[in-house]
Chain A
Amino acid sequence: MAIAALKTQHRNLVQTMFDEGMLDNQFNQLQDLQDSSNPNFVDEVITLFCNDAERIITELTRHLSYQNVDFSKLDSYVHQLKGSSSSIGAHRLKLACVNLRQASDGWNKEECVEAFYSIRREYCHLRTKFQVMMQIQRRIVSLENNQQ
């Protein structure tokens, strides 16, 4: 049955992300908050997160392109991204943010740039997986709705 297969696919994808350290237990908390009265909760949170992360990455790119980097501004943006990463359970991305904060505390532009590249890489991997996850989830919801 299509729905069961999709659910298995979804479960396996999430498990892989856990195994690779991309996600941590906080993501389980999000899933637990989703129910029949809020069937799209995880989807909505992930969408909000991605929009916000991309906004911050754009700002970080801009600020790191300046000759004189404003490290406190940098820190403020990374703090936001670290916070939202932590809130959705994006474990590796959160760690990448910690690294950038440390580099920023050291006022070392080169280290900041390296750390920023890590953030961007981690985010891209995460987003790709999230997009697949959401596609599967939406397909499940649409099939379940058709059944009724």
Chain B
Amino acid sequence: MEMAVDKTQFHVLAVDDSLIDRKLIERLLKTSSFQVTAVDSGIKALEFLGLNDDDDDEDEQRDSNSESISSDEDQDHQDLGVNLIITDYCMPGMTGYDLLKKIKKSSCFKDIPVVIMSSENIPSRINRCLEDGAEEFFLKPVRLSDVNKLRPHLMKGRSKDIDFPDRTRSGCLISTGN
């Protein structure tokens, strides 16, 4: 299936309990031509994706025509529309890390790249998130230069044949957001 990737907009789901940070990340993403949905909690993020909080194995999909799950996984993502999730780490109730785990456990959504943001530079926290499947870890305040790092992860999701060098870990630990 050919897709005109430069013409199709990527849809990012942003999760942050801070109103100011939500407004900021939304503007940053829109400036970079992403379509954005911003929610204020992990629970709302899961609801938006159509995942029940307590169902880990049986995930409910919003899209009802899901006959062939494996080959149409990309199509399902397209229909749901979320190509990347960017979430704050520190949130009341479900943390960004909890959300990451739930996404990665989900058969439908585990391939959606997840990026974590945090105002605190704690190496053990950063490493744990990366080890458990986060693509990037941004230190807040997030800047346009950070958002520009997202596109390769999205392109990778679109065309799985293209091989991108794995620079995530070193690239991420160096970036301090300064």
Residues of A that sit less than 8 Å from B by CB: 26, 29-30, 32-33, 38, 41, 44-45, 48-49, 52, 79-80, 82-84, 86-89
- Chain A residue nearest to B22 (CB atoms) is A48
Question: Which listed segment binds A: B36-44, B128-136, B137-145, B153-161?
Answer: B137-145
CA distance A48 to B23 in the complex (A): 9
Per DSSP, chain A at the interface is: helix
A52's partner among B20, B90, B141 (CB-CB below 8 A) is B20
The answer on a CB contact under 8 Å between B27 and A88 is no
Q: CA A57 – CA B91 in complex, angstroms? A: 20
Contact of A84 with B18 in the complex, beta carbons under 8 Å: yes
Q: A30-B24, A49-B20, A86-B140 are in contact. List 16 more A-B contacts (CB 8 A).
A: A26-B141, A29-B144, A33-B31, A44-B23, A45-B20, A45-B24, A48-B20, A52-B20, A79-B90, A83-B140, A84-B20, A84-B21, A86-B141, A87-B20, A87-B141, A88-B20
Q: Could you tell me the distance in whole angstroms from the C-beta of B145 to the nearest C-beta in chain A?
A: 10
Is the Cβ of B90 less than 8 Å from the Cβ of A87? Answer: no
Indicate whether B3 reaches chain A with its CB closer than 8 angstroms. Answer: no
Given contacts A48-B19, A80-B18, A83-B21, contact A29 B143 (CB under 8 A): yes
Residues of B close to A41: CB separation below 8 A: 27
Taking CB as reference atom, which chain B residue is nearest A33? Answer: B27
A38's closest neighbor in chain B, by CB? B27
A29 with B19, Cβ < 8 A, contacts A38-B27, A41-B27, A82-B119 known: no
How far apart are the CA atoms of A45 and B31 in the complex, in Å? 16
B28 contacts the other chain (CB 8 A): yes
B28 and A33 within 8 A (CB):
yes
Contacting pair A52 B19 (CB below 8 A): yes
In the assembled complex, the Cα of A139 lies from the Cα of B55 at a distance in Å of 54
Bound: A37/B90 CA distance, A: 32
Q: Which residue of the partner chain, among A26, A83, A89, contacts B18 with CB atoms under 8 Å? A: A83
Residues of chain B lying within 8 A (CB to CB) of residue A26:
141
Residues on B with beta carbons closer than 8 Å to the beta carbon of A45: 20, 23-24
A-B contact pairs, 24 of them (CB 8 A): A29-B141, A29-B143, A29-B144, A33-B27, A33-B28, A33-B31, A38-B27, A44-B23, A45-B20, A45-B23, A48-B19, A48-B23, A52-B20, A79-B90, A82-B119, A83-B18, A83-B21, A86-B140, A86-B141, A87-B18, A87-B20, A87-B24, A87-B140, A89-B141
Docked Cα-Cα span, A41 to B23, in Å, equals: 9
User: A86 to B119, Cβ gap below 8 A?
Assistant: yes
A119 to chain B, nearest CB (A): 17
